[in-house]
Structure 1
């Protein structure tokens, strides 16, 4: 098992006591898979951009997607609710999007909800009874009914996986923590544009907004109840 209790420590928590063992009761836990959608694994038309993003696609295809598929299976086997969040606008012209998704540059996201590039990647296709949250913001809680859904189902603990670590994952994790959910972020089921951005963000959110762990740790937490 990984040494999650002492990994990814920022300046704030360098000398803090080790956290207690994590226990994730199935009936009170949900897995939230964030924004692992077709558009993010497509190769860009611009050769320069395609080359810049090649390490990210490699991590997605070789690590994040296979690990998340494994994580989903483990959760289903134990009766843990699996929920998906995806960026998708309700209007074809995207005027329902938040300002952060209308600004020019990388964060400009015009993905109508029924278009193929906005769908969850085929390897992780949600089951018929899975909840899929459509969001037009970074945080999966802001502007959606996810908070109410979790409350109605008696969920207290959320396992988070997805992309981008420093954007939608971080924003969602912070929102969940502010709403007093216990959050566990699975390092090797997440990615940012670069490994450095990914690592920096994990250090920032670890031990205050969540606990950062590895996929190999999760089964022990779920079996500990």
Structure 2
């Protein structure tokens, strides 16, 4: 890994990313199905959810705009796509399905956006970017599941829309640790700041 880091640094990857106020919070797909190892969960997703509970409380106390995402498909599967061709079980995530519901400990409050999506990114084909812009967000703290999939896709799109992504490394989880670690490394080199929750909050509180 040290040799890899030398290569990345020599090629100017991994520069520091400073936050710019206002800050918002995006929680990606922390739903019952991803909390359950027998459905779509496992790995370190459960502890990531636990770490996100106080994060959400901190965001609310600071008045940050908060958005949550769910994967939701039509009852008749009319919006099935290539994502569901690769992962057919995702079609079970319907509007009123238990596995598609946000975990109770992270239940959205009134005024928080709940994004329904049918692809990995929280932004693709959704109103999220416009909503964040309407609320003045410049820097986006990101938690959720899974690190190598929907979190990564959302981070890349956040960056492309001009939001500064801050990935909270202990508030994101994956069903397997190797892709979790690899994607945190890669996002830190190319797309985002990657910091543990408490360190990130300290830095985000200094955003100007």
Q: In which range does the TM-score fall when normalised by the shorter chain?
A: 0.7 to 0.9
C-alpha deviation, 1:223, in angstroms: 2.3
1:44 matched to 2:44? The reply is: no
Q: 2:186 aligns with which of 174, 197, 204?
A: 204
Q: Output the aligned Cα RMSD.
A: 2.5
2:139 paired residue number: 157
Q: Please state how far the C-alpha of 1:40 moved relative to its aligned partner.
A: 1.7
1:163: how far off?
A: 0.5
Gaps of 5+ in 1: 1-6
User: Where does 1:25-174 land on structure 2 (aligned, <5 Å)?
Assistant: 25=21, 28-44=22-38, 54=42, 56=43, 59-61=44-46, 63-89=47-73, 91-100=74-83, 102-105=84-87, 108-174=90-156
Q: CA deviation at 1:11?
A: 6.1
Q: Which whole-Å deviations, capped at 9, do the CAs of 1:28-56 have from their partners, x for residues lacking one? A: 211000001101223428xxx9xxx65x2
Match of 2:173 in 1: 191
Alpha-carbon spacing, 1:94–1:222, altered in 2? closer, same or farther (3 Å): same
Matched, 1:22 2:39: no
Task: Give the Cα–Cα distance (whole angstroms) in 1 for the partners of residues 31 and 104 of structure 2.
Answer: 9
Contact 1:186 1:214 in 2 (8 A): yes
Change (3 A) 1:211 1:122: same
> What CA distance in whole angstroms lies between the structure 1 residues aligned with 2:141 and 2:125?
20
**Pair 1:155–1:66, CA change in 2 (3 A):** same
Give how far 1:108 is off. Answer: 3.9
> How many matched pairs?
204
Q: Which residue of 2 aligns with 1:3?
A: none
Give the secondary-structure state (helix, strand or coil) at the position aligned to 2:70: strand
Equivalent-residue separation in structure 2 for 1:17 and 1:147 (angstroms): 26
The answer to whether the Cα contact below 8 Å between 1:166 and 1:198 also exists between their aligned partners in 2 is yes
- Report if the CA contact (8 A) 1:93-1:110 is conserved: no
Structure 2 unpaired stretches of 5+: none
Q: 1:41 to 1:17 in 2, by over 3 A?
A: closer
The change in CA–CA distance for 1:17 and 1:191 in structure 2 (over 3 A counts) is closer
CA contact (8 A) 1:94 1:111 kept: no
**Residues 45 and 145 in structure 2, CA contact (< 8 A), matched pair in contact too:** no
Using the size of structure 2 for normalisation, the TM-score is 0.87
